[in-house]
Amino acid sequence: MVATRIFMQTFDRVMAWWRPLKKSPEPQKPTVKSFERYTREEYISRPELFYTRPDGVPQFSNRLVSETEGYKLYKLQCETCYPSGYEQNNKMYLEYYKADKALKSLIILHGWGRTKKDVEKTLCEELARHGISSVLVTLPYHMERAPEGTWSGEYFLSGNVDRTIEAVRQTIMEIRYIANFLKEQADVIGIYGISLGGVIAHIAMSAEDRFGFGVSAFAGGSPAGIVMDGLLTNYIRGDIELAGLSRQELEEAWQIINPGLLPCKVGKNKILMINGKYDQVIPTVYTRQLWEHLGRPQIKWYPCAHYSVYFFISDVFNDVCRFVKEA
């Protein structure tokens, strides 16, 4: 067990060194002096008041990309329901894997800093072969949505504490907007996310009451704790400290994006958590805190860290497909 832990954590450190996230050229800092607008008690007790459900159904432009036995793949685009101050970020990009005669649909969320979604696409294809439709979402500030001159994900999670809250708010409201669309396509809808996407999935489950099930992989609660203690966020921690924010102040400001504090609208028997025993990117203490907060739903621990899920990804996909089929 010790040898496995050392190997898996070393693998993660090598990956973090080999493919590091870029550092913002200038320190990122809050643009507001007070976070009171985000910490109102009614938002924490009823997150749906903060992450409001948009009206109507998205008016997508769509393009059929491919047609395979059992499913069709469409690329969808539409304007965001919660505009930011960046034009490139104000369009939603989705890939819709529409399974034939599907009774269930799943929203799929990728991780932070990703520049492509190959792993998630493989999961979507596997789900489609099981008769489950899915919508693969490009998160705000990532890939096509990254403002000019920024790297993918740079403006989503940073020392600009209020912009991070607004990025999460935009994401959850877009998820609820997509749910308006999916409820017209399938009887049951759910959500899945990995890493940052998994944290977002849990926040979404606190705001949206139409999800019949939810799955997270290699995620946890307490974004403040993850940033302050995680393997990949040293420079963000430095920017936050440079801005004069204490750990406690960050935790208070980020309450509304902490799924470990928010009430969950999905029953614990309809939640699956998949995690790595030796994860240092999402420290396991925050995974366990979230698990306890949710009432100890089903959880599966793999003998790996974070990036080293690579060695178990087929097993993880099998776990997800099996759970979604049975949920």
CA-to-CA distance for 259 and 168, rounded, in angstroms?
A: 12
Query: What is the overall mean pLDDT for the chain?
Result: 95
Buried-exposed string 147-181: b where 16+ CB fall within 10 A, e elsewhere:
eeebebbbbbbbbbbbbbbbbbbbbbbbbbbbbbb
Token pair for 33: 């002096």
Nearest alpha carbon to residue 207 among 168, 155, 160, 252 = 168
- Residues 58-114 have pLDDT tens digits of 999 989 999 998 999 999 999 999 999 999 999 999 999 999 988 899 999 999 999
CA 58 to chain centre: 21
Q: What is the 3-state secondary structure (H, E, C) of the chain?
A: CHHHHHHHHHHHHHHHHHCCCCCCCCCCCCCCCCCHHHCCHHHHHCHHHCCCCCCCCCCCEEEEEEEECCEEEEEEEEECCCCCCCHHHHEEEEEEEEECCCCEEEEEECCCCCCCCHHHHHHHHHHHHCCEEEEEECCCCCHHHCCCCCCCCCCCCCCCHHHHHHHHHHHHHHHHHHHHHHCCCCCEEEEEEECHHHHHHHHHHHHCCCEEEEEEECCCCCHHHHHHHCCCCHHHHHHHHHCCCCHHHHHHHCHHHCCCCCCCCCCHHHEEEEEECCCCCCCHHHHHHHHHHCCCCEEEEECCCCHHHHHHHHHHHHHHHHHHHHC
Cα dihedral 142/144/146/152 (nearest 10): 40
In the predicted model, what is the mean pLDDT of residues 1-15? Answer: 92
Please state the pTM of the whole predicted model: 0.97
Would you state the pLDDT for residue 9? 93
Nearest alpha carbon to residue 97 among 106, 87, 86 = 106
Helices 313-326 and 118-129: angle between axes, nearest 10 degrees: 40
Would you state the pLDDT for residue 101? 85
Would you state the pLDDT for residue 284? 97
267: domain CATH number is 3.40.50.1820
Would you state the pLDDT for residue 325? 94
Would you state the pLDDT for residue 26? 87
In the predicted model, what is the mean pLDDT of residues 3-23? Answer: 88
pLDDT band at 322 (very low <50, low <70, confident <90, very high): very high
CA-to-CA distance for 95 and 136, rounded, in angstroms?
A: 5
Range of the domain at 313: 2-326
- Residues 16-67 have pLDDT tens digits of 888 777 778 888 999 999 999 999 999 999 999 999 999 999 999 989 999 9
Would you state the pLDDT for residue 216? 98
Token pair for 71: 């499913």
In the predicted model, what is the mean pLDDT of residues 143-151? Answer: 96
The CA-atom distances, in angstroms, between 33 and each of 30, 93, 153, 161 are: 7, 33, 24, 11
Judge whether residue 183 has pLDDT over 90: yes
- Residues 232-262 have pLDDT tens digits of 999 999 999 999 999 999 999 999 999 999 9
Is 27 within 8 Å of 239 (Cβ atoms)?
yes
In the predicted model, what is the mean pLDDT of residues 176-196? Answer: 96
Would you state the pLDDT for residue 16? 87
Would you state the pLDDT for residue 1? 79
pLDDT band at 117 (very low <50, low <70, confident <90, very high): very high
The residues pairing with 71 across neighbouring beta strands, listed in sequence order, are 68, 99
CA-to-CA distance for 179 and 140, rounded, in angstroms?
A: 17
The CA-atom distances, in angstroms, between 241 and each of 13, 54, 159, 163 are: 24, 36, 9, 17
The CA-atom distances, in angstroms, between 47 and each of 92, 213, 324 are: 23, 18, 25
Total domain count for the chain?
Answer: 1
